[in-house]
Chains A and B, each alone.
Chain A
Amino acid sequence: MTDEKKKAMNRLQTMYPLRALIDEMYKRSVEAGKAGKPTAWCMVNWWEGDPIVKAMGMETVYPENYGAACAATGAAQAYLDRSDSDGFPTHMCGYARNCIGYTARMMELGEIPPEAPMGGMTKPMLLVGAGTLCDARYKWFQVLGRYLDAPVWMLEIPHPGVREFMMEGVSEHNIKFIVEELREFVTFLERLVGRKMDWDKLEEITDDIIAINRLWFEINELRKVRPCPMHSRDFWTCMNASLYPSGDLKVSLDLYRKMYDEVKSRVDNKIGSVADEKYRLVFAELPPWHSLRFFDQLAERGWNFVIESWAYHPPKPIDLSKVSDPLERIARHTYQWLTGYFENAFNAGEYWGYFAYPYLEYAKDYKCDGAFLHPLLTCRTATNHLMLVHDRLMKKLNVPSLVVEGDIVDLKLFDPVDAMRKAETFEEIMDHYKKVRREKGFDW
């Protein structure tokens, strides 16, 4: 990257300490492993299981994040090849194949592979699966049984964006279900770790997570203004402390506070995250971790990414202070995440379908000129609905979408030259629809 390229995108200073938390997460779990302390690999579970595992004193890492890390450092290819030659179909989730390949190699060596980025993931005592949102996340930890003797606990949760959940009484039995699930989980962990749950600690951790998410939500609300003060790249870097709540949560909370202040001061001083904001875009779904520099090139052309995948975002804040049982507080917090983004759709009597509606709200609230859709050749879940998003944004809001195929891990599947050619053309399209929206009386 040349210097003026660096200048095109204006990264937040408060992002760097938050980014550092990730390295610490891996370091801590490796040390815990060495010290024979309990460790777990977790699927992102949207705070359903995290506080419980944490309260039981387990150090956690998140193989999905590790997939991104391996992709970013170029280590992924060897692990993908390994899973491939072990007979797993190549269309399967890149994160999963990376994790399978890594595990196979680690168990073969009997130690963390020397080439493993971030110091590697230590052999876990427990695998916490969470099927939320995607089949892969139900299946992949079970598959690791081929290589690991670590037991799997599968967290179950109702699915987001289901209209039937708006029927009377349904939400309550859904919550009841989650709470029952979590109770079973606690008893299991007590048996596994040979220690009783410290309920006060659980309550404290839960509240810290809720506080972190509330603050993180407020930060992203600030991005609605012109010019947008925070680019998706900063979001993707900083979401970790919310999505992977490991380590000292008080520290994370404090870092988010500092971040809020920086973003707020940018808003007050009309400082944008790209030098000259010409186009505001919403991104869906998972970014090409191996090619993030692509966004710097787009920043030079005045593209600002002002909002992204709702599934990475915290729940819309609700008051849970009256909920006494910490397990129920956890359940309601996560349930709010998986229903909150759809309520307006259903209340408006519109049927949108899971994943599509939030982008409509985003495009409106964040005044987007276009959507950048990134279909993944190895991830059905983040891809299935993109045609629908494309179609609805145009029909309802005259907001065009740019579709660029790629992958989260396998960089062979992303072609920056071709992407740039499409992007340049897309500018003309965004200009065109800006006119159209004006004619039709939209306010952006």
Chain B
Amino acid sequence: MDGGGRIHARVVSHTGAEHRRLANKVMEEVLEQANLPFDEISYIIATGYGRMNVPFADRQITELSCHTKGVVSLYPNVRIAIDIGGQDAKGLKISDGKLIDFVMNDKCAAGTGRFLEVIASALGLKVEDLGSISLKSTNKVNISSTCTVFAQQEVISRLSEGAPLEDIVAGLHDAIASRVVKMVKRLKVEPDVVFTGGVAKNVGMVKTMKDNLGCEVSVPEDPLLTGAIGAAILGKEITLKAMAKGEFIPRKERRLEEVTFFK
């Protein structure tokens, strides 16, 4: 992102176990896309689960703050942001652009994207296809097990009892949505509601979330990037503020080699 807040390059890549190597790879790609030398980057903020493993980042900020920034930049009137990723689900309460309260679940795969991943693989389906399948459903099957592991077992037996696939998949979507919405309700939901994260790409989930929340939800065109965009904005703000004051900004060395974990 440049000083004017224009985005020049975006990269999304699957996080494996090796956060650090990945961070380097992503950085290389994004620099190549923007066709910039590394040193040109004034400030780098790392966020998300692996934020501690971005050796070249000048600062680490949690995904909650970054998501807030990112979402607000896209939807200035947002009051509630819901982010469902593969690892966790978050609800953010936002008041004039600032994060004032939040809830999150990262204890349990149920109610996260992981839930869908695990079960999709058990059903031999692609996660991307789940949404469209679920929309075909006429009466969704109620999935009683909370734990992903047992929900998977339950799904298999439902199928063996001859329940139609789409109804089960719809049931799964509903299971996540109801869990997340129950959690988010602790924030006292009010519009505008924005839905982000990998799961927000799933049309079925978007529909179920609307049904469960009983209100409209907006989804940015690239729901995976809101956190990164927010981080970039925060980086921009920090830099501009320091420049205005004429302060020197401490920066990490711009190096992309394998670094061993700092201890």
For residue A36, CB closer than 8 A to chain B, the reply is no
Is A110's beta carbon under 8 Å from chain B?
A: no
Q: Which residue, A81, A85, A87, A412, has most C-beta atoms of chain B within 10 A? A: A85
Q: Which residues of A contact B145 (CB under 8 A)?
A: 412
Bound form: Cα–Cα A81–B180 in Å: 12
Tell me if A81 and B182 are in contact (CB < 8 A).
yes
Can you give 7 A-B contacts (C-beta < 8 A)? A81-B182, A85-B183, A85-B185, A85-B186, A412-B144, A412-B145, A412-B146
A79 to B144, CA, bound (A): 17
Q: Report A-chain residues with C-beta under 8 Å of the C-beta of B186.
A: 85-87
Could you tell me the distance between the alpha carbons of A412 and B150 in the complex, rounded to whole angstroms? 12
**Complex contacts, A87 vs chain B, CB 8 Å:** 186
Interface size class of B (residues with CB under 8 A): under 10
In order of increasing CB-CB distance, the 6 nearest A-B pairs are: A85-B185, A412-B144, A85-B182, A87-B186, A85-B186, A81-B182
- A window 84-113: CB within 8 A of B: 84-87
Bound CA–CA A81/B178 (angstroms) = 10
B144–A84 touching, CB < 8 Å: no
A-B interface contact total, Cβ < 8 Å: 12
Chain B residues near A85 (CB-CB < 8 A): 182-183, 185-186
**B interface residues with partner A (beta carbon < 8 Å):** 144-146, 182-183, 185-186
Question: Whole-angstrom distance between the alpha carbons of A88 and B145 in the complex?
Answer: 21
Q: Which of A84, A411, A412 contacts B182 (CB 8 A)?
A: A84
A350 to chain B, nearest CB (A): 41
Task: Tell me the bound Cα distance from A86 to B183 in angstroms.
Answer: 9
| B residues less than 8 Å from A411 (CB atoms) | 144
Chain A residues with CB under 8 Å of B144's CB are 411-412
Q: What is the bound-complex CA distance between A85 and B182, given in angstroms?
A: 6
- Nearest A residue to B185 via CB reads A85
Q: How far is the CA of A81 from the CA of B182 in the complex (A)?
A: 7
Nearest-Cβ distance from residue A278 to partner chain B, whole angstroms: 30
Contacts of B185 in A (CB 8 A): 85
B166 to A: closest C-beta gap in Å: 23
Residue of A nearest to B157 (CB): A417
Q: Which residues of B contact A412 (CB under 8 A)?
A: 144-146
Q: What is the CA–CA distance of A104 and B40 in the complex, to the nearest angstrom?
A: 57
CB nearest to B181 among chain A residues: A85
What is the bound-complex CA distance between A411 and B146, given in angstroms? 12
Residues of A within 8 A of B183 (CB): 85
In residues 60-97 of chain A, which contact B (Cβ within 8 Å)?
81, 84-87
Minimum CB–CB distance from A74 to chain B (whole Å) comes to: 12
Query: What is the bound-complex CA distance between A87 and B145, given in angstroms?
Result: 22
How long is the Cα–Cα vector from A85 to B103 in the complex, in angstroms? 11
Question: Which residues of the other chain, B, contact A81 by a CB distance below 8 angstroms?
Answer: 182
CB neighbors of B among A152-209 (8 A)? none
User: Which residue of chain B has its CB nearest to the CB of A411?
Assistant: B144
* A243 shortest CB reach to chain B, Å: 31
- Complex formed: what's the CA distance from A412 to B144 in Å? 6
Cα–Cα, bound, A84→B146 (Å): 15
Instruction: Tell me how far the C-beta of A143 lies from the nearest C-beta in chain B, rounded to whole angstroms.
Output: 16
Docked pose: A412 CA to B186 CA in angstroms: 22
With A85-B182, A86-B186, A411-B144 given, name 9 new contacts (CB 8 A): A81-B182, A84-B182, A85-B183, A85-B185, A85-B186, A87-B186, A412-B144, A412-B145, A412-B146
Residue of A nearest to B103 (CB): A87
CB distance from A246 to the nearest CB of B (A): 35
A85 to B144, CA, bound (A): 19
A35 to B182, CA, bound (A): 37
What is the CA–CA distance of A85 and B145 in the complex, to the nearest angstrom? 19
Q: Which chain B positions have C-beta within 8 A of A86?
A: 186
Q: State the CA gap A373–B26 with chains docked (Å).
A: 55
